[in-house]
Structure formats: C-alpha cells, structure tokens
Amino acid sequence: MSAGNNKEPAESKNLVNPFASPLTSATIEPLAGNPNPLPPPKLPNVFTKWLLICTFAAGPSFFIGGGMGGWRVPAVVGMVIGVLIFVVGYTALEFATVIQQKMSKPVSRRAAWIAYLTRVGISIVFPIGVILDMFCGIFAVGLSSGITGVDAGLYGSRNISQVSVWVECLQYMFTTVVQGILLNFVLFAYMGVVWMICNLFSRK
C-alpha cells in the first residue's frame, strides 16, 4: 500500500461533523417576545399603571363605603388616601430588586397580568364586584372598629356629631387599608393558582 493512500483527501478536512456540539449557542427569546432581562421601569409609567389598576379595583368598595358614610367629605378623603397608600406601595414594590427578578420570568409576568386584569374585570362587573368587596368590607369595618375603638360615622349618620372630622377621615382610611389587605390576600392566592397553570402549560 503506498504512502499516498494513507493521506486523507484535502476536502475531508473541511467537512463539519453534524453530531458535534456547536461552538456558540443562539439566544432564544422568551415567549411572546418579552426581553430578558426587562428594561428598568420608569417611575411615571409604573405609578400611572398602579393608579389605574387600584382605582378600578377599589370601585365597588368605594361605592359601598361612600354610601355607608353618606358621601361626607371626610369619609371620601379617607378612602382616597387609603387607595393612594396601595398605589404608592405597589409602585415602590415594583422597583424592589427581588420583584424585578421574579418579573423577569415570562410565566410570572403572565400570571400577574392575568390576576390583576381579572380583578379589574370583576370590579367592573357590578354584582360580582360588590359581593366580593362587601364580605371583605364587613370584616374590615369590624376589625378596624375593634382596633381603633371608633365606630361612629361608619354606619350612616349615627352619632356623627360626636366624631371629629379628622377621626372620621382616619377611620375610613384605616378601614380601606384593612379591606385592601384582605382583598390582596385573596388576589395573591388566585395569582398562585394562575401561576401554577401558566407554568404547567408554558414551553420550556
């Protein structure tokens, strides 16, 4: 056998092994084209988003609370302040590092949007929204009255002359915050179920 037969053809050196692992791997974009990681949030946009969500979500509670307070100015102001507390709280929470890390995952973002849009939808559907908020509102009124010791002004005009404007405003604000916390517990439980469903059906 000649020495020339032991040499491989020059063309074979340029062949690519189809079973070899690639030297570089392409970056696969998450579902729905969401960038990963997300761009840094902008404060005006985040505040406006949560202002709209909290305003719609608080609609039934605002209607019930306003009727109980006879739409007096201290009652309305107290409820508005209570809603703004959640707006500021959600805005600050979105800028937290741990929340940004969680929301960088498409499944988490999808579950959060589904949960909050569902909450807003329930608030718009009048009977369902009122019933859901009414049960949490009754418990919130009893709890806040027991803690503060003030219940005048929460039940129509009964003994309203004995309660100062500031006390009435504070009572309605505290009741709004307590009711919002209770509703958020329900919302987060629902969000957990949505996350498990989204995670189950999402593609790796």
Q: Is residue 118 part of a domain?
A: yes
Q: Report residue 68's pLDDT band, with 50, 70 and 90 as the boundaries.
A: confident
Q: Is residue 110 part of a domain?
A: yes
At 106 the pLDDT is 87
Question: Are 65 and 176 in contact, with CB atoms under 8 Å apart?
Answer: yes
E strand or H helix at 187: helix 165-201
Q: What is the pLDDT of residues 109-168, one digit of tens each?
A: 899 999 998 888 887 776 666 777 888 888 888 887 777 666 644 444 445 556 688 888
Q: Is residue 192 part of a domain?
A: yes
Who wins on pLDDT, 63 or 156?
63
Number of domains in the chain: 1
Q: What is the pLDDT of residues 162-198, one digit of tens each?
A: 668 888 888 899 999 999 999 999 899 999 999 998 8
Q: What is the pLDDT of residues 11-30, one digit of tens each?
A: 555 555 555 555 544 444 44
At 76 the pLDDT is 93
pTM: 0.72
Q: Residue 52: pLDDT above 90? A: yes
d(CA 136, CA 65): 12
Structural domain for 52, as ranges: 41-201
Q: Is the dihedral of CA 110, 112, 116, 119 positive or negative?
A: positive
Q: Is residue 144 part of a domain?
A: yes
| Percentage of the residues of the chain whose pLDDT score is greater than 70 | 71
At 190 the pLDDT is 92
Q: Residue 33: pLDDT above 50? A: no
